A = this chain, B = another copy of it.
Amino acid sequence: MNTWARALAGWMLAALCLPVWSTPVEDGYDLWLRYRALPAAQQAAVAARARRIVAVAPASPTLQAAVAELQRGVAGLTGRQPDVAAQPGDGALVLATPATAPAGLALPRPALAELGREGYLLRSLRWQGRAVTLIAANSDVGLLYGSFAWLRAAQTGADLARLDQRSAPRLALRLLNHWDNLDRTVERGYAGASIWDWWKLPDLRDARYVDYARANASLGINGTVLNNVNAKADSLTAPFLAKAAALADVLRPYGIRVYLSARFSAPVELGGLKTADPLDPAVRAWWQAKAGEIYRAIPDFGGFLVKANSEGQPGPQDYGRNHADGANMLAAALAPHGGVVMWRAFVYAPDASDRAAQGFAEFQPLDGRFAPNVIVQVKNGAIDFQPREPFHPLFGAMPHTPLALEVQITKEYLGFSTHLVHLGPLFEEVLRADTRRQPQGATVARQIKAMAGVANIGTDRNWCGSHFDCANWYAFGRLAWDTDLAAAAVAREWVQQTFTRAPAAVQAITALMLDSREAVVDYMTPLGLHHLMGTGHHHGPAPWVDNLERADWNPVYFHRAGRDGIGFDRSPRGSNAVSQYAPELAALWANPATTPEPLLLWFHHLPWSHRMASGRTLWAELVAHYDRGVERVATMRRGWDAVRTDVDAQRHAEVAAYLAVQEAEARWWRDACLAYFQSVSGLPLPAGSRAPAETLEAYKARRFNFAPGRGG
């Protein structure tokens, strides 16, 4: 073949491979609200149930948002946008609230009565002789949530002709916490800059804010804290309140209220006062005036989130007061306006013996002393968002205090936005944890009034830094709405809406997601180990670090590995932190023999020769877990590769590239940790286990000078 014919052959081949120009770009921006055209047969089925929209409810921006979403969704799925109509027809979607439902529309009023302000029901029924789908609620926000639920049903292949769903949230507050700084950096953010373009606000509003609102409304997230818990007092100044007010205006129709992190020393920094003592009348007056100013700007402002006397943040203890004094002072300022104070229990004193015991020690004695509009916000575990932690002992131990569960959606310790780690299982694990504080069934989920997730959202086009990281936002929202949902079901929903409905592929993708949490536990911190990561940025393994300013920041503090063994003794023979749990649990966890192996080294310091249930020694078991973690990632990669033809090429390739990095980093974690543990134990690797690829010194020498997430 001559040159140009050969060239031509190349082009024709390339042309065949070129994406059809009219296929929507799958860049992740549409999240789980993609509304991609269904196959023709399914299009007809959905279109038949959404021929028109009849809204018999008072006009409001929220109802407008619900109708718009239904139109957008149906148009995308079926190619035809349903009109808004006055009269029902066959296949109409009817949105109704009791107040305005017309005669002849048999609203199931008893059912509705139980749904509260935010709940909804979906029901297939007949009205005026037509087969319609009723989306009913007591408020327009409920109709919005119901509309999203209907769209979820449509996207996941439910039988839209036979709907009968009822759902209402048990937790009143379901919040995102953005650790976004006012300079647009995001602490522990791995998805670009803050999505809040502070400089351009309030006059210039990014169109993205609306899509943020839609995504959160689709999950039932009803509040967002805009700024970092390591707060700058500036967030409470007039210019920033105006910016927050602008955001509140955009989010309000979607049922989302805004909150702000408040710096406790603001009276000094902004008000020029000499003190921020919560008992000082001038300070109290300052906060009352500030609250008035805030509520004039944002009438439905949610309230404050406060990190005080923790990691250098100012607080009431600076003045010899306690957490209740501080929280109650702010609560008094907000109570007349209906606001809440979410006061974080993430504290640990520098001179204490066990960091894990500090939160309970400082807060439990204050049970019952907080004002009713204070919520004490407690991390899922007593250390800090590790791959696995036992539930925080405060859950169940403060029956007279409203509590919030704080989980981390962003993966500070779990591979940033590079590693695929689905957190639904982690959220489910803590929600279903039995505190044994009350009669059977006293799970963590039943101890809380609110749930907060540290957001993983930024300016990246795909919102969260990777496609699968968005599933963690999704899982958080769905589980906050209904703490009884199963993580597996939630993951499956997400896959069907985000990637594909092909059953085998859904099964395969869901499986790799559900296995990923245990994978990261295994390749980072198995058997109850915790806090082994690199200094500052928290990237990569650094179990050797022992030289930080505070002992309880050092990895060695947490694993205590030496020639004799490994693990942190929290039994009565050690720090006795187990005693902070219900007596039944304390007794179980005080004894290695009755401690679940996933928590073994959280509660016990054991010799390397300790015999495990498998028959292996602790050391061999540890190595086996690290090896299994790496193998799990390899399995995830094979699982993803197998669904290549079921998902779009762009995202398949992107995820595959991320998984390749994850596998390499999992190996690195495994190799560096085992090299280190070998160095302190003096033990050889079990036969058949591969030696670390590099020397311990090489691992120690690695530097990551520009790791993301160190904002503010």
Residues on A close to B: CB < 8 A? Answer: 3-8, 10-12, 14-15, 18, 20-22, 27, 53-59, 63-64, 67-68, 71-72, 75-76, 81, 83-86, 100, 102, 182-185, 190, 192-193, 197-200, 203-205, 207-208, 234, 416, 418, 459-461, 650, 654, 657-658, 660-661, 705-708
For the A-B complex with A15-B67, A461-B461 known, give 16 more contacts whose Cβ atoms are closer than 8 Å: A4-B102, A8-B55, A10-B64, A11-B59, A11-B64, A11-B67, A15-B83, A18-B71, A21-B72, A21-B81, A183-B708, A190-B199, A192-B192, A192-B197, A203-B660, A234-B706
6 A-B pairs with the lowest CB-CB distances in the bound complex, closest first: A21-B75, A11-B84, A193-B193, A10-B59, A15-B84, A4-B56
Q: How many Å from the CB of A83 to the closest CB on chain B?
A: 6
Q: Are B203 and A661 in contact (CB under 8 A)?
A: yes
Q: Are A459 and B193 in contact (CB under 8 A)?
A: yes
Q: How many Å from the CB of A665 to the closest CB on chain B?
A: 10
Q: 14 A–B contact pairs at CB < 8 A?
A: A4-B57, A4-B102, A8-B55, A11-B59, A12-B85, A15-B67, A15-B83, A18-B68, A27-B207, A192-B193, A199-B708, A203-B657, A204-B654, A459-B460
* Identical copies in the complex: 2
> Known contacts A67-B15, A204-B418; is A59 also within 8 Å of B7 by CB?
yes
Which residues from B are CB-within-8-Å of A708? 183-184, 199
A10 to B95, CA, bound (A): 14
Q: Are B234 and A705 in contact (CB under 8 A)?
A: yes
Which residues from B are CB-within-8-Å of A192? 184, 192-193, 197, 459
Q: How many Å from the CB of A191 to the closest CB on chain B?
A: 10
Interface centre among A14, A58, A199 (most CB of B within 10 A): A199
Q: Which of B18, B54, B64 contacts A14 (CB 8 A)?
A: B64
A75 to B15, CA, bound (A): 13
A687 to B193, CA, bound (A): 49
Q: Are A59 and B198 in contact (CB under 8 A)?
A: no
Q: Are B100 and A182 in contact (CB under 8 A)?
A: no
Question: In the complex, which residue of chain B has the Cβ closest to the Cβ of A190?
Answer: B199
Q: Are B459 and A57 in contact (CB under 8 A)?
A: no
A81 to B20, CA, bound (A): 9
Which residues from B are CB-within-8-Å of A706? 182-184, 198-199, 234
Q: Are A58 and B459 in contact (CB under 8 A)?
A: no
Q: How many Å from the CB of A352 to the closest CB on chain B?
A: 34
Q: How many Å from the CB of A342 to the closest CB on chain B?
A: 24
> Known contacts A71-B21, A418-B204; is A182 also within 8 Å of B705 by CB?
yes
Q: How many Å from the CB of A630 to the closest CB on chain B?
A: 17
Q: Are A650 and B4 in contact (CB under 8 A)?
A: no
Which residues from B are CB-within-8-Å of A76? 21
Which residues from B are CB-within-8-Å of A705? 182, 234
> Known contacts A15-B71, A18-B71, A706-B183; is A100 also within 8 Å of B650 by CB?
no
> Known contacts A18-B68, A72-B21; is A7 also within 8 Å of B55 by CB?
yes
A260 to B14, CA, bound (A): 33
Question: In the complex, which residue of chain B has the Cβ closest to the Cβ of A705?
Answer: B234
A461 to B200, CA, bound (A): 14
> Known contacts A705-B234, A706-B198, A706-B199; is A84 also within 8 Å of B193 by CB?
no
Q: Which of B10, B183, B418 contacts A200 (CB 8 A)?
A: B418
Q: How many Å from the CB of A103 to the closest CB on chain B?
A: 11
Q: Are B661 and A7 in contact (CB under 8 A)?
A: no
Q: How many Å from the CB of A61 to the closest CB on chain B?
A: 10
Which residues from B are CB-within-8-Å of A72? 21
Question: In the complex, which residue of chain B has the Cβ closest to the Cβ of A657?
Answer: B204
Question: In the complex, which residue of chain B has the Cβ closest to the Cβ of A25?
Answer: B207
Question: In the complex, which residue of chain B has the Cβ closest to the Cβ of A27?
Answer: B207
Q: How many Å from the CB of A587 to the closest CB on chain B?
A: 46
Which residues from B are CB-within-8-Å of A183? 706, 708
Question: In the complex, which residue of chain B has the Cβ closest to the Cβ of A2?
Answer: B102
A22 to B460, CA, bound (A): 24
Q: Are B21 and A86 in contact (CB under 8 A)?
A: no
Q: Which of B100, B459, B460 contacts A3 (CB 8 A)?
A: B100
Q: Are B6 and A59 in contact (CB under 8 A)?
A: yes
Q: Are B55 and A11 in contact (CB under 8 A)?
A: yes
Question: In the complex, which residue of chain B has the Cβ closest to the Cβ of A87?
Answer: B8
Q: Which of B10, B81, B86, B204 contacts A8 (CB 8 A)?
A: B86
Q: Are B67 and A3 in contact (CB under 8 A)?
A: no
> Known contacts A7-B55, A7-B56; is A84 also within 8 Å of B204 by CB?
no
Which residues from B are CB-within-8-Å of A418? 200, 204
